[in-house]
Structure 1
Amino acid sequence: MDTAADELRALARSGSLVERYPRVRDLLADADPDVLRRAGQLLSRLDPDEVLRAHPGTPGFRVAVTGTGTLDGIVAPLTGELARHGLLARVRVGDFGGYVTELSDPAGPPADLTLVLLDAASVFAEAPSPWRADDVAAVLAERVALLEKLVIRFTSAGRGTLVLNTVPLPRRYPAQLVDHRSRARLGAVWREANARLLRLTEDHPALVVLDSDALLSDGIAVLEPRLAAYTKAHLSPELLHAYAREVAHLARASTGRAKKVLAVDLDGTTWGGILGDDGVEGIEVADTYRGEAFRAFQATLRQLASQGVLLAALSKNDPGPVREALGGHPRLAVREEDFVRVVANWRPKHDNLRELADVLNLGVDSFVFVDDSPYERGLVRRELPGVAVVAVDEEPALHVDRLLAQGWFDVPDLTAEDVARPARYQEELGRQDFLRSFDSVQDYLDELGVRVRVARARPEELARVSQVTLRTNQFNLTTRRLQPADVRALAEDPDGYVVAVHTADRFGDNGLVGVLLGRREADVLRLDNVLLSCRVFARGVEQAALSALLAHARDTGATAVLGEYRPTAKNGKVRDFLPGVGFATVADDGDVVTFRHDLTDIAPPPAHVGLTVDWNRR
């Protein structure tokens, strides 16, 4: 069998697709759009409940679809794209043209993402016949005003994340205007309306607006005329699939699956030529067509690193020439200081990747690996299936698009913590070198000078708090993912607790690295979650923060604190955290373990930690 779709079809015909469902993610890892389309058609016929009965740990993802036309064509591509990222899709398509009613209902069906698909046909249906550009402008103004009201209603009801799209304009409409001045006027008013849609995200954190222009720039048709005429499907299958791909990237980020590390090969990938053969001055970097293409790829790496992506180099080379090239080549657009780690040796790259993951205290499923060697890519795929592998080849002009095609590092919002992340990890590597100079971990901690500040999160920190819940997988007691609107609602609740944990030490400020979430219920504080960045494990930060919260609960009249642990494939290391700080197990149903602390004996913060606490509500 040549393709993933062939194997999936064989599994479906044999009746074993549900039984072998965990195989789906690996089959679709490198699937092209055509394979994903066919796979989505097969997978969308499965009953999600049947899959869950066979594989209870499969993460599900609920998507509600509504809009202004026939939208059933989104189901199959969305199912395939979500499956590619390990998510079991539950897609519900609303009534034709029923988006106003569905978004206005505060008690609408729950969904992780609600998509409102907008098309041009519904705009022109409201324009007079014949129409002029100014008639369309009036309809667009009313439509955008209505959408803003619906966004406010939807998000104020706390119904999750809402996704709109800018409205693509098919050529058939401007072509109906015979003079170019009128066409220009239509183009201007159309773009202004779409710009207003895009700007709605500035005031509504629970809203995402996908820019259709970015999808259409790849040559995708806006509509397929026969489908538009006969089925009222006013967005082409190709555009729906491109849209589904972007939505899957959002889903991946909102479930903690966004990648964090970009590990790139050097020879043939980051620059042209072989460093060991051609020397530092002989590698292709600039001044030729191919050299400029490699330089564009380097600039893209630096652009990603500036936004918090951890950049690493993995090269089969001697370390000296690599450092010379990255440190001294006058035309390189990326430098050694842009990388959190440069690994140059002759070991297998999958071993280097595994070791780098250990050093950074991250799972290998946080990595994207880019290499021009099919051999190296194949080894990494086989040995480390959680790593996302990007294939590039001898054509460097295609490197940038291939790297960016799957949006591996996409997040809903960029925070100051994101921008500072590479520097934080470089500091962390310095801490590890410092640790190796001590005979014991305790001696190291005593000299490290750990400082912890525990305080209610400030308004400007709420986006970062949401991000911690979305991206933290290992030290995460319940893996409940909160969107910014969810965090804001809890912070504004008089009984809610959104507590930020900041740390610093002799090497620098780690920033906001942990979160305590809870709610006061009479004389009991219910602890919804405790989360901590993997960068600061095993330094006493979590014990100090929870000690502060327990003491605050006692001092404000609480008689107990309840907490939970929900096991996942990645959070096993925190199974014993609550018992380790004085909580007793009171229930265990196999899915959730419930703990209780009676606040009579609160363990103090570790002696090596300097703790500052501020419980003032802001």
Structure 2
Amino acid sequence: MSDTAGEDRPATVKCLVWDLDNTLWQGTLLEDGQVALADEVRKAVIELDSRGILQSVSSKNDHDHAWARLEALGIAEYFVLPEIGWGAKSEAVRRIADRLNFAHSAVAFIDDQPAERAEVAFHLPEVRGYPAEQAPDLPGLPEFTPATSTVDSRRRRAMYQAGFRREAERAEATGPDEEFLRTLDMVMRVGRATGEELSRVEELTLRTSQMNATGVHYSDARLRSLLADPRHEVLVVTLTDRFGPHGAVGVLLLERHPEMWHLKLLATSCRVVSYGAGATLLNWLADAAAGAGAHLVADFRATERNRMMEIAYRFAGFDDQPCSCAAALTDEAGAGTGPEGEGLQRLHLVPEARPAPTTLRLEAPALFV
């Protein structure tokens, strides 16, 4: 759902899965020995990467031989979670999507063989399929053209690759998970968005579905208007650790009323769910509201994918019990009416002081004075 009507844009592809033989490269590796990479295909790979679209591989080949050829061609670094082996390609694509925590509708598959595209389409009907001859033209398609381009999107592959190294180290760690998280030396920063950062905020509202409390997309123009409104706070959350930056991982949109703060939107990246980002932000906000003597009201709209966000709200103490101070808010916002009110719930919290997080350092200025 968007805060602007009339938009008819196809959902952006988040990950493109390539076949290799006669698709990414020209020729069949096990038959021809040497295969070539067309310049226009190389340009497409590099361009999609620069837009923040992840790329992977699903190929029926010998893994070591195929990966060595990708390295020799100078493009191995562009592919995450390669699936090179002899199993069904639908299962390979499914594993890639699951590991990335992407909806199937955010994944695309390109292959020269109609039978392979059909097999993937049968088992994963939401995955978009493309014939090999379309490879050079993919950057020109709207679904491969994100609405925004940010610093984070241009380094998305590197951030995911760092994330896989974190996961590998986490899998080898012994003892409670909380102890491992402390070893990451995580620093979460919350700050007011600047004009330059708005594209990162808009991108988060566009790309995040599992951890978006309302499913609403706020456009750049709408966010700029809110920046100019003294009652609104548009807050950007970033996270770094010893492996490097996670980039912008969260956005909060808060409107302050007398004796009440209205959390219109909370969205966090799915990449940081396991680090408790949503819970940390809700606890910080509750603590700040308690210090200001303000009641908290949070918008929530259930979607097919954001059950985890509802759980985060409930664990933070939000419930369905309204307060008298929210009556004016309901009248003003028209809860339950119109496209922005459809399916909307208003969750409430009488905040109390909360302890500081124990697994990361939180840097959040006293924004609400």
The residue that corresponds to 2:357 in the other structure is 606
Q: Are 2:202 and 2:219, in contact at CA under 8 Å, matched by a contact in 1?
A: yes
Distance of 2:308 and 2:367 partners within structure 1? 32
Aligned partner of 2:24 in structure 1 is 270
The residue that corresponds to 1:565 in the other structure is: 300
Question: Does residue 533 of the first structure (1) align with residue 284 of the second (2)?
Answer: no
The letter of the residue matching 1:314 is S
Q: List aligned pairs for 1:190-201, cutoff 5 A.
A: none
The letter of the residue matching 1:457 is A
Would the alpha carbon gap of residues 593 and 436 (structure 1) be closer, same or farther in structure 2, given more than 3 Å must change?
Answer: same
In 1, Cα distance between the equivalents of 2:359 and 2:207? Answer: 28
Q: 1:548 Cα shift?
A: 2.1
SS at match of 1:323: helix
SS at structure 2 position matched to 1:535: helix
Q: Secondary structure at the match of 2:216?
A: coil
Give the structure 1 partner of residue 121 of structure 2. 381
User: How far has the Cα of 1:569 moved from its partner?
Assistant: 1.3
Q: Tell me the equivalent position of 1:510.
A: 246
SS in 2 for 1:433: helix
Q: Structure 1 residues 408 and 111 mapped into 2: Cα distance closer, same or farther (>3 Å)?
A: closer
Q: CA deviation at 1:502?
A: 0.6
SS in 2 for 1:259: coil
1:395-441 per-position Cα deviation (integer Å, ceiling 9, x unaligned): x5x5313x346322222331111111111111111111112102343
Q: Residue 364 of structure 2 aligns to a residue in which SS?
A: strand
Match of 2:236, SS state, is strand
1:544–1:604 contact (8 Å) kept in structure 2: no
TM-score, normalised to structure 1, is 0.54
Q: Distance in 1 between matches of 2:347 and 2:356?
A: 20
Q: Superposed, which structure 2 residues align to 1:89-168 within 5 Å? A: 112-113=5-6
Structure 1: which 5+ runs fail to align? 1-58, 62-109, 114-246, 286-293
Give me the identity figure in percent. Answer: 29
> 1:466 and 2:206 equivalent?
no
1:312, CA displacement in angstroms?
0.9
Amino acid at match of 1:433: A
Partner of 2:166: 431
- Cα 1:515–1:320 change in 2 (3 A) is same
How far, CA to CA, are the matches of 1:305 and 1:487 in structure 2? 27
SS in 2 for 1:381: helix
So what's the TM-score if we normalise by structure 2?
0.88
CA distance in 1, matches of 2:20, 2:356: 46
Task: Provide the rounded CA distance (Å) in 2 between the counterparts of 1:569 and 1:542.
Answer: 18
Letter in 2 for 1:385: P
Question: CA contact under 8 A between 1:468 and 1:514: conserved in structure 2?
Answer: yes
- Select which of 248, 255, 278 maps to 1:519: 255
Taking the aligned partners of 1:436 and 1:456, their CA distance within structure 2 comes to 35
- Gap regions ≥5 residues in structure 2: 323-334, 337-341
2:44 touches 2:139 (CA, 8 Å); kept in 1?
Answer: no
| Match for residue 348 of structure 2 among 596, 601, 606 | 596
Who is 2:326 aligned against?
A: none
Residue in 2 that maps onto 1:406? 141
Query: Does the residue aligned with 2:142 lie in a helix, a strand or coil?
Result: coil
Partner SS state of residue 246, structure 2: strand
Residue 582 (str. 1) matches residue 336 (str. 2):
no
Query: 2:94, 2:177 → 1: CA distance?
Result: 23
What is the aligned partner in structure 1 of residue 50 from structure 2? 306
**Alpha-carbon distance change, 353 to 344 in structure 1, aligned in 2, over 3 angstroms:** same
Does the aligned pair in 1 maintain the 2:47–2:139 contact within 8 Å? no
Are the aligned partners of 1:364 and 1:384 in contact in 2 as well (CA < 8 Å)? yes
Tell me how far 1:342 sits from its aligned partner.
2.2
Q: How many pairs are equivalent? A: 350
C-alpha separation in 2, matches of 1:516 and 1:369: 34
Q: Distance in 2 between matches of 1:603 and 1:390?
A: 51
Q: What is the CA–CA distance in structure 2 between the aligned matches of 1:603 and 1:409, rounded to whole Å?
A: 43
